[in-house]
Amino acid sequence: MSAPRPPKVAGIDSTVPAPPHTAAPLTGVPSAASPSDAALPPGVLIQDRLASWVSDLTTLHELTERLIKTDSLDEALREVLGAGAALVGARRGMAVLEPADGLGPTSTIGLGLAHADLGTIETVPRGSGSYGRLLDGLPEAGPAPSSARPAHVPEPIAIRDVRTEEGLDPRHREVAARLGYAASYALPLATEEAGRLGAAVWLYDEPAEPDERRRHLIGLYGRFATEHLARLLQVERARVRVATVAEELLPSRLPRVPGVRLAVRHRTGPQGGGDWYDALPLPEGALGLAVGSVSGTGPSALAAMGRLRASLRAYAVMEGEDPVAVLSDLELLLRLTEPARSATALFAYAEPAQRRIVLAGAGHAPPLVVGDHRTEFVETSLSAPLGMLTCWEAPSVELSPAPGETVLLYTDGLLRRTGEATDRAFARLHAAAASVPVADRSDPGAVADHVLRTLLPQGIDPAVEGEDVVLLAARFD
């Protein structure tokens, strides 16, 4: 009579022998059972299996918790590579993001591989490399996919020994020998809902492949990772679309007007704010400069910004010599067409030949003059934003920049990105402008770059939530 067999328990069978690995076993995953386990009572085996199941669930929970904290595609791919290496018992790996719809973005991330190593791996014909076969949707040779996996999601591909595997391209064996790996395990980053987003492959230093238990773990993790990557992909594509629309609504290039040189630095936040700028040549060698900000974010704010900027250009051509009249017309248009929206704006009518500027602002931050002998804000009168009062009006201000001085026009986003209180942010902006090296003051672009680096030393990551930033620099000869 055969020995009684313990009943099956949901979870992962810890009695399956583990293959040789080239990295330390995954923390929290029980080791293979010893032959003496066969003599243990059935109840003890059930408890061991339950403990193994709980341990695996805990491990997956910890790894997925770490994954969901990532907020960019490259960061998520690095986390997937590190977690997958621990789950399958490998030391090196590569993840490729290549959405099947062809809309991008694409990316290749390595774990324990230099940039040159990644390039070497990419020289292997795609039909021979395991990750390439997954990206191209080629089915794995061998048993048919299980019914639990969607038909259009390819199976993982395990190459236990690159030297003896049949059907491999000679270039594949050559690259494996050069980089010192002997086996690989490739997992599709794909689900039925998200489609095929990419693939990840882990490399072993010795002939090996993950056992059934580890395959099950990495499969569960891979499906969760794919859904997370799909969400990040949607966010990234939306951010790119918003940034593209915002850039298309703004000038594609700055005009060239004798007596003045222009430079601009502009960044749009991920939700798409309404900050804008403009520079347009006017009759008799004059130049119109404008910056502004529309309340709100997203597509509606971008559309409102485009309408306001286009209208301001028309008003500037008709009556640009009077900045107050330009902003009054703009305020009337905003109040009649978009009564629920407000906006700040600053318009300057410049005559470079005479080095004369007449400007007016509506709830906007004052310009900053930077030169060898002074760094000071232009004293403008306090005024309400457009759309806030029944009738907007404020006096204009005239100034005469000296030869070699640069006038900086900017939006409130530049101040708010500092995270400081308003008065503190103004002080920091003044200090940043005053510290521009003398050698850089002849180049308005260098002046703008120095101010941004000093004011925002961490830079402006377009994927990070925050205000739009506009900095328009005009240097007068």
pLDDT digits (tens, 9 = 90+) for 334-371: 888 888 888 999 999 999 999 999 999 998 899 999 99
User: Residue 192 pLDDT > 60, yes or no?
Assistant: yes
Quote the CA–CA distance of 77 and 195 in Å, as a whole number. 17
Question: What are the tens digits of pLDDT across the range 422-458?
Answer: 999 999 999 999 999 999 999 999 999 999 999 988 7
Burial (CB < 10 A; 0-12, 13-18, 19+), residue 468, is buried
* Among 11-20, 51-60, 267-276, 422-431, the range of highest mean pLDDT: 422-431
Residue 285, both tokens: 């060698």
In the block, residue with structure tokens 């190459």: 159
pLDDT category, 462, cuts 50, 70, 90?
Answer: low
pLDDT value of position 468: 85
**Confidence (pLDDT) at 10:** 36
Convert the pLDDT of each residue in 105-127 to its tens digit.
Answer: 999 999 999 999 999 999 999 88
Q: To the nearest 10°, the Cα dihedral for 351, 356, 362, 365?
A: 120
Neighbour-count burial for 18-34, b at 16+ CB within 10 Å, e otherwise: bbebbbeebeebbeebe
Closest CA relative to residue 226, chosen from 160, 156, 158: 156
- Checking if the pLDDT of 167 tops 90, the result is no
DSSP secondary structure string for all residues of 439-451: GGTT-HHHHHHHH
Q: What is the pLDDT of residue 38?
A: 53
Spatial contact of 133 and 96, defined as CB atoms under 8 Å apart:
no
Contact 81/109 with Cβ under 8 angstroms?
yes
Alpha helix ranges (H) inside 169-297: 170-179, 212-249
Rounded to 5 degrees, φ, ψ at 396 are: -85, 165
Question: Using 50, 70 and 90 to split pLDDT, how confident is the model at 41?
Answer: low
HSE value, Cβ hemisphere, 13 Å, CA-based, for 217: 32
Q: ω into residue 6 within 30 of 0, thus cis?
A: no
At residue 238, the pLDDT reads 85
Looking up tokens 């969760």 gives: 224
Q: How many Cβ atoms sit within 10 Å of the Cβ of residue 41?
A: 10
Q: Which of 323, 307, 304 is nearest to 315 (CA)?
A: 323
Residue 21 confidence (pLDDT):
45
Q: What is the pLDDT of residue 13?
A: 40
- pLDDT at site 37: 52
Residue predicted with more confidence, 78 or 270: 78
- Among 18-27, 81-90, 113-122, 204-213, name the one with the lowest average pLDDT: 18-27
Question: Is residue 302 within a helix (H) or strand (E), and if so which, with residue range?
Answer: helix 299-319
Beta-strand ranges (E) seen in 339-405 are 343-351, 356-362, 368-370, 375-377, 397-399
Helix axes 42-68, 73-88, angle to 10 degrees: 160
Average pLDDT over residues 151-171: 87
- DSSP lists the bridge partners of residue 274 as 294
Q: What's the alpha-carbon Rg for the chain, to the nearest Å?
A: 31
What average pLDDT does the structure give for the chain? 84
Q: Which of 115, 112, 93, 121 is nearest to 178 (CA)?
A: 121
Whole-angstrom CA distances from 269 to 112, 295, 299, 459 are 33, 14, 12, 13
Band of pLDDT at residue 394, cut at 50, 70 and 90: confident
Q: Among 24, 25, 22, which residue's Cα sits nearest to residue 180?
A: 22
Asked whether residue 400 carries a pLDDT value surpassing 80, the answer given is: yes
Average pLDDT over residues 244-272: 85
CATH numbers and ranges of domains, the chain:
35-240 (3.30.450.40), 250-476 (3.60.40.10)
Strand-pair category, 469-476 with 406-410: antiparallel
Residue found by looking up tokens 């910056």 in the block: 291
**Residue 245: predicted pLDDT:** 81
The DSSP bridge pattern shows strands 356-362 and 397-399 to be antiparallel
**pLDDT recorded at residue 297:** 79
pTM of structure: 0.68
Distance CA 192, CA 215 (A): 19
Could you give the 3-state DSSP secondary structure of residue 374? coil
Return the closest-CA partner of residue 153 out of 119, 188, 126.
188
For residues 280 and 142, which has the higher predicted lDDT (pLDDT)? 280
pLDDT band at 85 (very low <50, low <70, confident <90, very high): very high
| Alpha-carbon span 62 to 272, nearest angstrom | 34
Question: What pLDDT digit, counting tens, does each position of 198-244 carry?
Answer: 999 999 999 999 999 999 999 999 999 999 999 999 988 988 887 78
Q: What is the dihedral of CA 411, 416, 418, 419, to 10 degrees?
A: 180
Question: Max alpha carbon distance in the chain (Å)?
Answer: 110
Q: What pLDDT shows up at residue 336?
A: 86
Confidence at residue 337, expressed as pLDDT on a 0 to 100 scale: 86
Vertex 425, ends 463 and 438: CA angle to 5°? 95
- What confidence score (pLDDT) does residue 162 get? 93
Is 255 a residue whose pLDDT tops 80?
yes
pLDDT of 92: 96
- pLDDT at residue 138, rounded to an integer: 52
pLDDT band at 44 (very low <50, low <70, confident <90, very high): low
Is the pLDDT at 283 greater than 80? The verdict is yes
**pLDDT given at position 34:** 46
Residue 16 reports pLDDT greater than 80: no
245 in helix, strand or coil? Answer: helix
Cα 358 from Cα 326, distance rounded (Å) = 12
Report the pLDDT averaged over residues 401-405: 95
Q: What percent of the chain stands above pLDDT 70?
A: 84
Euclidean distance between CA atoms 362 and 203, whole angstroms? 61
Give the percent of the chain with pLDDT over 90: 57
